[in-house]
Amino acid sequence: MRRPVAIRVVGPVQYIFYPALAAIALTVLLATPVQLFGLKLPEPVLPLILAFAWPLIRPSMTAPAVLFGLGLFLDMFWGGTLGLWPLCLLGVYGAVLASRNLLAGQETQILFAWYAVCALGAFVVAYLIVTLVAGRAPSLLSLIGQVVPTLLLFPAADWMIQRFDDGDVRFR
């Protein structure tokens, strides 16, 4: 007699909705006006981690819709140009989705390099759009202050990819 095998089903709630809610909560938490040793808390673009990880985990139709909502949340929360962050997040999602076949199974160093390229591309697009809308260039120090913490959060994206990739044993 065969014993039933436990199937671990990883659905969109586990790898899309819970991380999206965590990104919203951490964005609000990091925006609090707290100063430690005279420095403000960093404000990384947390949904950029999700825009990179989701197409590598499992492409779906839900992820771009959630990314669009997260981008609108960032625009309204930070008081920016409406549509700026949805464009950047969906651009990263599309770039990673287009190169998914090349990135599947790659080592962490390759994934970090591609994450850095995607994040820098998103920030360049955001910088150019803000420059055009405002009529003057934003501070480069502020840009670097947002880019560096976002790049340093790559281990979260790598953890998500390792945790949820092939999470459903029914597809093996």
Separation CA 11–CA 168 (nearest Å): 8
DSSP 171: G
- Tell me if the pTM is above 0.85: yes
Enter the tokens of residue 47. 């949904």
Separation CA 68–CA 123 (nearest Å): 17
pLDDT in tens, 71-88: 999 999 998 889 999 999
Distances (CA, A) of 21 to 4, 24, 43, 47: 34, 5, 16, 10
Residues of the chain with pLDDT under 70: 1-11, 166-172
Separation CA 45–CA 153 (nearest Å): 10
The pLDDT value recorded for residue 45 is 93
Domains of the chain, with CATH numbers? 19-165 (1.10.1760)
pLDDT in tens, 98-113: 998 888 888 889 999 9
